[in-house]
Structure 1
Amino acid sequence: MFRSVLVFLLLWLLATSVRAQTIIEGRVVHAQTGAPVPFATLGVPGRGLGTVADEHGHYLLRLPDLRDTLVVSCVGFTRHVVVPAALAAGQREFRLAPQEQALRDVVVEHRRVHPGLLGRNKEKADVLWMGGSSGKETVDDEWGWEFGTVLRPTHHTYLEEFHVFLATNNYEQLRFRLNLYTLEQGKPGRALLSKDVQLICTNKQRGWLTVDLRPYEIQLDAQPVVATIQWLQSEKTDPWDKYFSIPVTRQAKQVVVERENSEAAWTLHPMQPSLYFTVMTE
């Protein structure tokens, strides 16, 4: 009898938590044109709550209640802060204003450059860093997860290609965004990219994923930066036992950074992932 009561109470608590969950749904649009902002991120500052809008700017966000401040952002746009009162009043369309370019344009000069690598280009490592939704009925609350590493260019550097290695992958489709940040007090600080750089992985692809960065004309000074991939989207059908992994190797310094979504707190780890750039350096 006592065991039956415990089971009943557990089921009641689970049902209550599901009912108490608030789901808000709407769109993220361009403040000037009204056009959708694809793959904008939504997150509650300092908490593991958030998601990513789809290619049409549509989002579905699960929140415990409407008492939290929400931040909406996307590469190339100014962050938009939504106060709890606006959410409670029913605001569901969020308008993002374009942002001025953060990185300067490339100026072509006759300087001697040579090819190089920035990061770790090894496939094998000590452990696999897992990402995914194994055992969960939904995956949209995993979107926005961000993972990367601290890099330290020693000379003025032009980014040619970006590479990240997937050791395992059970998804029919994965979409990631490349982000670059300044390093401030050992953690990612100001976002550097003003153009949206994405990687798309289909058909359970494994191995090196590569994106050509030459069209984006990205250059770095001889200062530490943080490079991350951000999970934007994946298949939604049959989400059980879906995961992917990136090899990481242990080392003395904390160079791996991670956070649950676009507004969560960063965590640091003494590891280095299989993630690198091919570059031209002066």
Structure 2
Amino acid sequence: MAHGQHQPLEGQVLNARTGQPVPFATLGVPRRGLGTVADENGRYLLRLPDNFADTVVVTSIGFSRALLLPAHLAAGQRVVRLAPQEQTLENVVVAHRRVKPATLGRKTAKGDLRWVAGSSGKNTVDDEWGWELGAVLHPAKPAVLEAFHVYLHDNNYELLRFRLNLYAYGQGKPGKTLLQQDVQLKAWPKQKGWLTVDLRSYNINLEAQPVAATIQWLQSETAEPQKKYFSVPVKRQPKQVMLERENSEAAWTIHAMQPSLYFELLTE
């Protein structure tokens, strides 16, 4: 974050149709490391530098994105209304083929390094929310996702919440969001080891094409301000498959490593 910041920008993200809060909507500034995530009541606190004159992009799964333009901010606009997207149900064709269980990703808990995220020694943590970590995966055949797992080597938080994101992957970076539902993972206090979410009720299908799977940090709470961090094991490897970005609108970086996360799936 930049130095010389003014008072935080506070507001709320609402559903434009119902007027209800949009929980855990993301806010980010394109091409800059500025962003955060709204809380369960859609309220956000965004720390911006002095003389800020950029556009803030507000997004949430299942909604069209909205923009807070510099003129809007100067006029005092703090409430953002997101329009729900119409959900289209794809035709499901049941093929009379045998399917078998498989895994996709790295299911080993041990790694060469611990990839640490947190804000130990800082008074605030909200400007870290929105951070994403994940991997490029290559399904060999069409598949149905059954469960997702990510390994926490360290976790000093009383509350830790993530969102699972899936993106089409092409031209060296993640692209279109593939999920139409908000899939979240929540760790119990100081939970370590494999964190799991059952995906069977979401009916998520993958084609035999590269995808990027990430966890996005949504929320955290701790009573120990000097120990605010968690970590995921990563393994060094020749191929660049590990993805990371600071918030929902920041540029992606890619590393020659692979984090400990994977899917259980059914495939042909």
- C-alpha spacing 1:169/1:200, structure 2 compared with 1 (3 Å): same
Deviates more, 1:219-228 or 1:231-240: 231-240
Assess if the C-alpha contact under 8 Å between 1:106 and 1:219 holds in 2. Answer: no
- 1:230 is aligned with what amino acid? Q
Aligned-partner Cα distance in 2 for 1:59–1:242: 20
Give the number of equivalent residue pairs: 266
- 1:69 is aligned with what amino acid? T
Normalising to structure 1: TM-score of the pair?
A: 0.91
- 1:36 is aligned with what amino acid? P
Aligned residue in 2 for 1:271: 257
Aligned match of 1:54 in 36, 39, 53? Answer: 39
Assess if the C-alpha contact under 8 Å between 1:139 and 1:236 holds in 2. Answer: no
Aligned match of 1:73 in 44, 59, 67? Answer: 59
Aligned residue in 2 for 1:143: 129
Aligned match of 1:92 in 68, 78, 86? Answer: 78
Aligned-partner Cα distance in 2 for 1:126–1:102: 43
Bigger share in helix: 1
Shift in Å at residue 238 of structure 1? 4.1
Assess if the C-alpha contact under 8 Å between 1:177 and 1:231 holds in 2. Answer: yes
- SS of the residue corresponding to residue 37 of structure 1 reads coil
Aligned match of 1:227 in 208, 213, 220? Answer: 213
Aligned-partner Cα distance in 2 for 1:255–1:23: 35
Aligned-partner Cα distance in 2 for 1:122–1:105: 36
Q: What does 1:116-135 align with in structure 2 at a 5 Å threshold? A: 116-135=102-121
Aligned-partner Cα distance in 2 for 1:187–1:18: 30
Matched, 1:35 2:4: no
CA deviation string 1:69-126 (max 9, x = no partner): 1000011111111110001100000011112447846443432111000000001111
Assess if the C-alpha contact under 8 Å between 2:132 and 2:214 holds in 1. Answer: yes
Assess if the C-alpha contact under 8 Å between 1:28 and 1:53 holds in 2. Answer: yes
Aligned residue in 1 for 2:153: 167
- C-alpha spacing 1:102/1:274, structure 2 compared with 1 (3 Å): farther
Aligned-partner Cα distance in 2 for 1:20–1:186: 34
CA deviation string 1:12-38 (max 9, x = no partner): xxxxx8764241111100011111000
Shift in Å at residue 193 of structure 1? 0.5
- 2:49 is aligned with what amino acid? P
Assess if the C-alpha contact under 8 Å between 1:103 and 1:192 holds in 2. Answer: no
What runs of 5+ residues in structure 1 fail to find an aligned partner?
1-16
Deviates more, 1:102-111 or 1:83-92: 102-111
Normalising to structure 2: TM-score of the pair?
A: 0.95
Aligned-partner Cα distance in 1 for 2:66–2:82: 6
Percent identity, please. Answer: 66
What runs of 5+ residues in structure 2 fail to find an aligned partner?
none
Aligned residue in 2 for 1:63: 48
Q: What does 1:196-275 align with in structure 2 at a 5 Å threshold? A: 196-235=182-221, 237-275=223-261
